[in-house]
Amino acid sequence: MKLRVTIMLKTGVLDPQGAAVRHALGSLGFPGVDDVRQGKVIELDLDETDPAAAEAQAAQMCEKLLANTVIEDYRIERA
């Protein structure tokens, strides 16, 4: 089954990539941008067909590899 994992920096953690995008948008003539945060999204296609088991497997993948849980939060959704 397919899952979508979204990984964002935790609130309060400096996001230089987001700040750069915000600055670039300002330069391009988009003035009304209050904040930009950039993260990553990973679409997983797993053999596992049971939704709960697949989500548990994805959570393990996040803890072990995909996310740096010191500074990042992850969210798992069914795609």
Pick 65 or 70: Cβ nearer a second copy: 65
Whether 72 and 10 have beta carbons less than 8 Å apart is answered as yes
Q: Report residue 38 CA to chain centroid gap.
A: 8
Q: Where do contacts with a second copy occur on this chain (CB under 8 A)?
A: 6, 8, 18, 21, 24-25, 28, 30, 32-48, 57, 60-61, 64-66
Pick 35 or 70: Cβ nearer a second copy: 35
Residue linked to tokens 């979204």: 6
* Nearest to 48, CA basis, from 38, 60, 56: 56
Task: Name the minimum Å distance from CB 69 to a second copy.
Answer: 15
Task: Name the minimum Å distance from CB 73 to a second copy.
Answer: 12
